[in-house]
Amino acid sequence: MQLEDYFDFLRPDDIRLKGTRIGIETILYDFIHQDRSPEDIARTYPSLNREQVYATILYYLHEKEAVDKYLTNWLDWSHQQWKQQQRNPTPTMLRLRKLRAEREANKKAHDSEIFAG
């Protein structure tokens, strides 16, 4: 089996573990940026096994320059999407923000009553 056999190369910006919807960026972000062990990552994603996690890390080590670019592009895209969501929240997000604000206001009012009385 070749290392590439572990992956579905759907597009240049979309590499997934074969038989899953999990992209290599998910595993590599946990491994590189969250400093998680391969065993912890495999436990987090029940559709993966340790062999797939190790194959992803090995692929990263063998193709470091290309995968670093892939990850940088993914992080940039994710950040842009987050900014766009903040500027244009969905109706659900607006409701959640309103509920959070109401809860915080109620908590402050409750805390003020406790300290005043």
Separation of alpha carbons 36 and 109, rounded Å:
41
Are residues 15 and 23 in contact, defined by beta-carbon separation less than 8 angstroms?
yes
Q: What is the pTM of this model?
A: 0.70
Separation of alpha carbons 17 and 23, rounded Å:
6
Separation of alpha carbons 16 and 28, rounded Å:
12
CATH of the domain at 65: 1.10.10.10
pLDDT in tens, 57-84: 999 999 999 999 998 998 888 888 888 8
| Domain membership of residue 18 as a residue range | 3-88
Which stretches of the chain drop beneath a pLDDT of 70? 117
Any domain includes 108:
no
Q: Which residues contact 48 (CB under 8 A, 6 or more apart)?
A: 17, 20, 22, 27, 41, 42
pLDDT > 70: what percent of the chain?
99
Instruction: Give the total number of structural domains in the chain.
Output: 1
